[in-house]
Amino acid sequence: MKQILKLWSLNKQNQWILKFGISVLVVGLAFRLLFSQSTTRFEPELEAASSSSYITARTYLPVSPPPASVEMSEPSSDAAVDNLPVPPPAPQPSSSAAAAETSKSTMSIDGRPDPDENEAPDDGKCNLLVGDWVPEPSGPMYTNATCRLIDGHQNCMKNGRPDSGYLYWKWKPRRCELPAFDAQRFLELMRNKVWGLIGDSISRNHVESLLCMLSTVEEAVEVYHDKDYRSKTWSFPSYNFTVANIWAPFLVEAAIFEDYNGVSTSEVQLQLDKLDKSWVDAYPSFDYAIISTGKWFLKAAVYHENNTVVGCHICPAGKNFTETGFVFAYEKALGFAMNSILQSKHKGQIFFRTSTPDHFQDGEWHNGGTCRQTAPVKAGEFELKEVNKILRKVELAEFEKVSAKAAESGVNFKLIDFTNLLLTRPDGHPDAYRNFQPFAKDKNATVQKDCLHWCLPGPIDYLNDVLMEMVVNG
């Protein structure tokens, strides 16, 4: 009897051990299933920089989150989309009455400036920058869900922009075909090369567009940033291809006293005869470079040459300075930068991009200006603002002065003027959706609007289609 009880006890103990083992196995399988379905992505390890890249000469900073004062994207939200919305049926350019500044355009019917702008008439040849926006049912090649490099203020889809029609247009030149951007081919062509995009926040907007398009083939890896996270460099390791975005909003040396919200505590101190070293030191290593500037010259500033004050714009009170206006400084700074490019004898392909138009209506960025369009406007419906005309006139004139010298000296220096391409796209800006879910708590909330930078994805993506065609076919 004792023997039977003993056997029964052992059997019961074995059953308990067996049940415990099965429980552990089930829990383990559950955890494995949970983690195998997780959407968490691990960041790629940083690749060592190519010896051909300028960043090897710089001190690397750890690629870590910027300090709290820096503009950041909001945390992930349900606004991210894995698939694009169904495109709206056969959209047509809008004829919006909301465009307060619309009137007869300075652009002629062929997309070039009117004759009084001293431009040559259309010669009937292919011009990639003369065209129209036409419906594109397939939409953009990336979204905010497939590209993690979009700045928070341009991430319109994530920020809750309710319409999607602005995504379904493409740029079509009138006298030639523009092939769609081919990321795979571009990366192959740029193997072992370095690009530099130099300028202000529009340059940053553009470089993020390019990186997102290229990341459909291989994800860009950030390998450098400066201490303020203004200048950054990315690598595509499989192609040994480097893209650098250098913050140099004036191209010349400047002491700037403002925060990330654009609030200034003093006038900019601008050295009109000294180039900004942040791009000059890197310039010789670039196989391709896009140089741009523009609206920063509208800021209050004191101008220096030979370490002497020579004028100012919106002069400081109590100083016996001469008000010269910003055109004086813009001409001198652009002329100095362009002539320095010629003298460098650098053999890379250099583009100068003209400043881009903004579409603020019923005010400007600081006093309630907005841009509520949801589709391209018709040609002639938006007039280039007077200040944009002035900037562009200076840009074209200064480039004209050096273009003949560039050809003589063998410097490959080209102008790209995207004014016509972007002028009819007031729908492509973030407007209120530069802010994360701006009306989630109050549908009548007053928020900062942005009608200068471009949503990503958005119209600025087509700058890359044009650039690739210019690079491929010269």
Active site (catalytic) residues? 201, 450, 453
Backbone angles phi, psi at 271, to 5 degrees: -95, 100
Please answer whether residues 120 and 398 qualify as being in contact, where contact means their C-beta atoms are separated by less than 8 angstroms.
no
Cα–Cα dist 306/208, whole Å = 37
Q: Which two tokens stand for residue 309?
A: 């004050």
Cα–Cα dist 381/378, whole Å = 6
Q: Which two tokens stand for residue 79?
A: 């606004």
Helices (H) and strands (E) in the chain, counts: 8, 13
3-state secondary structure of 241: strand
Contacts of 124 (CB under 8 A, 6+ apart): 175
- From the list 242, 149, 144, 251, the residue with the least C-alpha distance to 196 is 242
- From the list 333, 321, 310, 327, the residue with the least C-alpha distance to 252 is 333
- From the list 205, 112, 245, 181, the residue with the least C-alpha distance to 429 is 205
Please answer whether residues 448 and 416 qualify as being in contact, where contact means their C-beta atoms are separated by less than 8 angstroms.
no
Cα–Cα dist 428/438, whole Å = 18
Please answer whether residues 239 and 188 qualify as being in contact, where contact means their C-beta atoms are separated by less than 8 angstroms.
yes
Contacts of 114 (CB under 8 A, 6+ apart): 106, 107, 108
Q: Residue 30: left (phi > 0), alpha (psi -120 to 50), or beta?
A: alpha
Q: Which two tokens stand for residue 35?
A: 């983690």
What letters, b where the CB count within 10 A reaches 16 and e where it falls short, cover 35-45?
A: eeeeeeeeeee
CA torsion 128→134→136→140, rounded to 10°?
50
The distance of Cα 115 from the centroid of its chain, to the nearest Å, equals 32
